[in-house]
Structure 1
Amino acid sequence: MRLGALPAAHDSVVCLTFLDGRPLLVRHKERGWEFPGGHAEPGEDVVDTARREAFEEAGATLGRLRVAGHYVLAGGHVTVVTHARVTALSPLSGDFETVDVRAFDALPEDDLSWSDGLYAHLLRELGLPGAP
């Protein structure tokens, strides 16, 4: 992960969301628990994408959003990492791929959509709560 650096181009944005100091994750109907995120819509910047995805997937309204850096997966996929405190939650609309939203004391050990330890690594590197 490249902390503090924005890439020249990116494929997606992930937002590490926190409610009352606890990681807030969404349950994707096929993949499991994950932080909200996704691809940018035309004309969106990183912050706009993170805010939209957090609202669509978690019903979350975000406070101050921080851009932490980015990572590149082995296949070349570039994701910008952001994090923010959730200031309000609305019920899920049912229009998107998430079926549940929950705040955890620590990342769940089972049923994470990405079981490669990436989320725990990001939390530890950024000094954010919830890493196992």
Structure 2
Amino acid sequence: MYRFFDYYHNEVHLSFEDHPFSTNPKHVWVICRYENKWLLTKHSDRGYEFPGGKVEANETAVAAAIREVKEETGGIVETINYIGQYKVAGKERTIVKNIYYAIISELIKQEGYFETYGPILLDEIPEGVQKDRRYSFIMKDEVLQRSLMEIKKRFL
């Protein structure tokens, strides 16, 4: 278990164990690969980030993850694996989010992308992403770095 503070100085607990904070989380985040590149989206407000969002009523977290990838990037999920979960103790509420790693089989061009400007493909996540204004705050704390290390250990 890791403990640190995020971009907004909220306390974050991160674990790569099986659902340590909630068996029914309300948020998902999906680290995606497509044709050996990282697949991100450009959020309309926050900038470049991996797709993710809220779990809707009567939807599982994994179904939400697959839906969010499609809505935000046009990506069709081939495989998806749970890798961890994190909890952010915010000033107003606590958020628990599942982290997934997905391989995307194809990108389908869409008329519109929900809350985003569509897919962004990167060969590498740049060093210094924490200071790069193009990237969302979601990409700027230890969740990203530790999740990438976990993915490399398990899958790459």
Q: State whether residues 26 and 98 of structure 1, in contact with CA within 8 Å, keep that contact through their aligned partners in structure 2.
A: yes
Q: What is the DSSP-based 3-state SS (H/G/I as helix, E as strand, rest coil) of the residue aligned with 2:146?
A: helix
1:112 matched residue in structure 2? 135
1:5 and 1:72 map into 2 onto residues whose CA distance is 13
Of 101-110 and 39-48, deviating more is 101-110
Deviation by residue 1:2-58 (Cα, 9 ceiling, x = unmatched): 113122331201111101222100000110001111111111112110110000010
Alignment gaps of 5+ in structure 1: none
1:90 matched residue in structure 2? 108
Structure 1 residue 71 and structure 2 residue 94: aligned? no
Q: What is the DSSP-based 3-state SS (H/G/I as helix, E as strand, rest coil) of the residue aligned with 1:9?
A: coil
Q: State whether residues 74 and 113 of structure 2, in contact with CA within 8 Å, keep that contact through their aligned partners in structure 1.
A: no
Of 54-63 and 88-97, deviating more is 88-97
In structure 2, what residue type is equivalent to 1:22? K
Q: C-alpha displacement at 1:117, in angstroms?
A: 4.3
Structure 2 vs 1, CA of residues 2 and 96 (structure 1 numbering), >3 Å: closer, same or farther? same
Q: State whether residues 27 and 53 of structure 2, in contact with CA within 8 Å, keep that contact through their aligned partners in structure 1.
A: yes
TM-score where L is the length of structure 2: 0.75
In structure 2, what residue type is equivalent to 1:113? S
Q: State whether residues 27 and 96 of structure 2, in contact with CA within 8 Å, keep that contact through their aligned partners in structure 1.
A: yes
Q: C-alpha displacement at 1:62, in angstroms?
A: 0.5
Identity of aligned residues (%): 30
Q: State whether residues 79 and 104 of structure 2, in contact with CA within 8 Å, keep that contact through their aligned partners in structure 1.
A: no
CA RMSD in angstroms comes to 1.6
1:125 matched residue in structure 2? 150
Q: C-alpha displacement at 1:100, in angstroms?
A: 3.1
Q: What is the DSSP-based 3-state SS (H/G/I as helix, E as strand, rest coil) of the residue aligned with 1:92?
A: coil
Look at both structures and tell me which one has the larger radius of gyration over its CA atoms: 2
Structure 2 vs 1, CA of residues 39 and 52 (structure 1 numbering), >3 Å: closer, same or farther? same
Q: What is the DSSP-based 3-state SS (H/G/I as helix, E as strand, rest coil) of the residue aligned with 1:61?
A: strand
TM-score where L is the length of structure 1: 0.87
Alignment gaps of 5+ in structure 2: 1-13
In structure 1, what residue type is equivalent to 2:135? L
Q: State whether residues 73 and 113 of structure 2, in contact with CA within 8 Å, keep that contact through their aligned partners in structure 1.
A: no
1:41 matched residue in structure 2? 56
